[in-house]
Amino acid sequence: MNPREIVKIQNMSKQFPMAGAFFTALADIDLSFRAGEFTGIVGPSGSGKTTLLNIIGSLDVPSRGSAIVLEHSISDLSHKRAAQLRNRHLGFIFQTYNLFPVYTVYENVEFPLLLLKMPAAARKQAVQEAIAWVGLSDKTDSKPPQLSGGECQRVAIARAMVKRPELVLADEPTANLDAKNSHNILQTMEALNREIGTTFIFATHDDKVINYLRRKITLNDGRVVKDEIASGTAGKKAKS
Amino acid sequence: MIRFLVKGLLRDRSRLLFPIIIVTIGVLLTVFLHAWIGSLMSDIIRSSAAFSTGHVRILTKAYAENEDQIPNDLALLDVSEQLQRLQRAFPEMNWACRIRFGGLLDIADESGETQAQGPTFGMAVDLLADNRAAEMGRLNIATAVVRGHLPTRSGEILISDEFASRLGIEPGDQATFLGSTMHGSMTMGNFTIAGTLRFGVPPMDKAALIMDVADAQMLLDMHDAAGEILGYFPHAIYDHSRAAAIAAAFNEPYSHSQDEFDPVMLTLKQQNGLGDYIDMAEGFAGILVTVFIIAMSIVLWNAGLLGGLRRYGEIGVRLAIGEYKGHIYRSMIAESMVIGLVGSIIGTAVGSALVYYIQVHGIDFSSMFENSGLMMNMQVRTRVTAQTFYLGFIPGLFATVLGTMLAGIGIYRRKTAQLFKEFEG
Ligand SMILES: Nc1ncnc2c1ncn2[C@@H]1O[C@H](COP(=O)(O)OP(=O)(O)O)[C@@H](O)[C@H]1O
Ligand SMILES: [Mg+2]
């Protein structure tokens, strides 16, 4: 039996108004993602990866066609319903970490649960668990400026994972990291994918990331030019 | 969640401390400027009230018409009775008789020949009567003494220090006043110079003479008469609507009479073109303060705007994590209200404290000019008024919050994804 389909994109295009005309960032996309995937959207800069992730993440809407994410049609969501979808079911990881600088690691990770109004005891447990997943239990009281880039990205992973979302969207998560830290966070995400079953969709043009992927979708000029199964075994190779 | 936001606010200096400092400074400047302009105007009003116009002033209709000739033949009569009546009718006011007069001051040598002589301008005020403290206080006479002392008994006068030097006399010396009585006959009297004064007003410093009212009445044959009766509000604060009401009540019984010896009461604003001056000064001060408040508002508004714009990235993340736009917007506005309120309160508190300090102690420019003991106020004084306490909140609170509100509209207008681009870019 195939796992549940969590994202279905049909005949979807995205255009941006530009100097009186329109610029087509995505054209005629048909894609489907199933629960438990560890998939990357690859392609050169400007090929539309971020735009696609933003639409899947309900941060943006399609111009044409449809994108259904966890039974929600992105085009038809109100601001409020989109916020609820993100809050309950989606996690985001960004190239620039986007942590709140004045809050501690613990507080950064706690924030999504405060929005969910989770009771204090359950919240504490979930936060500590998420911080343990990324191996930062000894840094709970540090603030982002005191952490290295790799550590910051691990905090961002914990923040995305703390509510155990079905789907995590990671836009160029390794672009600001060295090789060692890149492998480190990819292994962390791979483990979470395996152990909790969280679906990961990456946007990347980093070969290190590509080596971990189990499915690779290649975009060029806003079109899907390739959608292939990948080995996804780099984690083991890198360790040896 | 609120605790979480408050924690962030308290820790983020760029979000709390700096905006508060900016708001505080803006509010402080507004409060101070307003109080200072207000006090510049009230200084002019105060000295004019003290020296010539009173807050209200009673004279005969005829005297009022020929004021510049100082026509003491048209003076008020039966003034002690008039004073009693006024005191009864308007007990909150202080009433004082004054007589202005001109003449010659003559200094004789040992043999009785004239040694020096000069025209003098006399002002009779209560130097010895019960009312002396009020009169000498408002005229600053005690601090204006340069040499000698204040008169302590009948027959002692004060003259301007410059005049005394010109005549070559000193405290303790004798001088003879030559002039005319209110009935037009010649009069002369011998007086002792008790002390000399510096007024700070050139015409008075040239040749002024100050004498007790009772002495002047004797000298000028003005038995129970006085050129004018001045009325003053408590604390030297002119209240025009009250003054107008008092004048209307006082003048009412004489309104249909043609008798030119009837008394008439004039308010401060009705004299010496002071009304026009006050209106103009108030208008000018109003414009200045308004312009300043607008300028301060624009500064603080921009601070609010910038604070909001700088945070689009943070807002983008909060949106991505699933916070509602309305929630973020409200929390931003609540933050700016806290900042505006705290800044306005601190700014107003520090500003009014400063204003009050200067109100009490003054910034004394007289020492700078080496003119100690001026009779005119060379001190800058500010005054705390009711407006002091709320004016600063216009730029402090309203502009700050308005700026944030406008910046926050961007949250709604922009696509969520766009907020990130601005953060990453
Ligand atoms: N808000 C926007 N307005 C106009 N053009 C945009 C906007 N967002 C993205 N684009 C354009 O769409 C194209 C794809 O962008 P993006 O999805 O960011 O590419 P990638 O992430 O693959 O580098 C780029 O040419 C970019 O300039
Ligand atoms: Mg991109």
- Tell me which DSSP letter residue B76 carries: B
* Region of residue B54 (phi > 0: left; psi between -120 and 50: alpha; otherwise: beta): left
Contact A115 B415 (CB under 8 A): no
Protein residues within 5 Å, CB atom, of ion ligand 2: A 50
Q: Which residue has the higher pLDDT, B273 or B240?
A: B240
Nearest to B4 among A80, A95, A114 (CB): A114
pLDDT for the residue numbered B183: 92
Taking CA atoms only, the protein residue closest to ligand 1 atom 12 is A25
Residue with tokens 């507080």: A107
By mean pLDDT, which of A186-200, B170-184, B402-416 is the weakest?
B402-416
pLDDT for the residue numbered B252: 93
Tell me which of A13, A22, A50, A209 to substitute to probe ligand 1's pocket, judged by most ligand atoms within 8 Å of the beta carbon.
Answer: A50
Is ipTM over 0.90?
no
Atom of ligand 1 nearest to the CA of A222: 14
Mode of pairing for the β-strands spanning B156-160 and B186-197: parallel
The answer, yes or no, to whether any atom of ligand 1 lies below 6 A from the CB of A196, is no
Contact A86 B424 (CB under 8 A): no
Mean pLDDT, residues B371-380: 45
How far apart CA B13 and CA B24 sit, in angstroms, is 15
Highest mean pLDDT among A11-25, A129-143, B228-242: A129-143
Nearest to A60 by CA among B327, B311, B320: B320
Atom of ligand 1 nearest to the CA of A203: 21
DSSP string, B265-299: EEEGGGSTTHHHHHHHHHHHHHHHHHHHHHHHHHH
pLDDT tens digit sequence for B107-128: 988 888 888 999 999 999 999 9
Q: Which residue has the higher pLDDT, B418 or B331?
A: B331
Alpha helix positions (H), B68-122: 79-89
Compute the nearest-CA separation of A232 from chain B (Å): 28
User: Who's near A80: CB < 8 A, 6+ residues apart?
Assistant: B324
Q: At residue A88, what is the residue type? A: R
Percent of chain B with pLDDT over 70: 92
The answer, yes or no, to whether any atom of ligand 1 lies below 6 A from the CB of A218, is no
Query: Any chain B CB within 8 A of the CB of A89?
Result: no
pLDDT tens digit sequence for A144-203: 999 999 999 999 999 999 999 999 999 999 999 999 999 999 999 999 999 999 999 999
Provide Rg for chain B, Cα atoms: 31
pLDDT for the residue numbered A216: 96
What are the domain boundaries of chain B? Answer: 2-47+276-424, 97-225
* Chain B environment of A96 (Cβ under 8 Å): 423-424
* CB-neighbour burial class of residue B156 (10 A; exposed 0-12, middle 13-18, buried 19+): buried
Q: If you measure from the C-alpha of residue A47 to the centroid of ligand 1, how many angstroms do you get, rounded to a whole number? A: 8
Alpha-carbon distances, residue B348 vs B298, B342, B344, B354 (angstroms):
19, 10, 6, 10
| Helix, coil or strand: residue B373 | coil
Instruction: Look at residue A51 and tell me whether its pLDDT is greater than 70.
Output: yes
Contact B325 A79 (CB under 8 A): yes
Taking CA atoms only, the protein residue closest to ligand 1 atom 25 is A46
The answer, yes or no, to whether any atom of ligand 1 lies below 6 A from the CB of A22, is no
pLDDT tens digit sequence for B252-272: 999 888 888 999 999 998 887
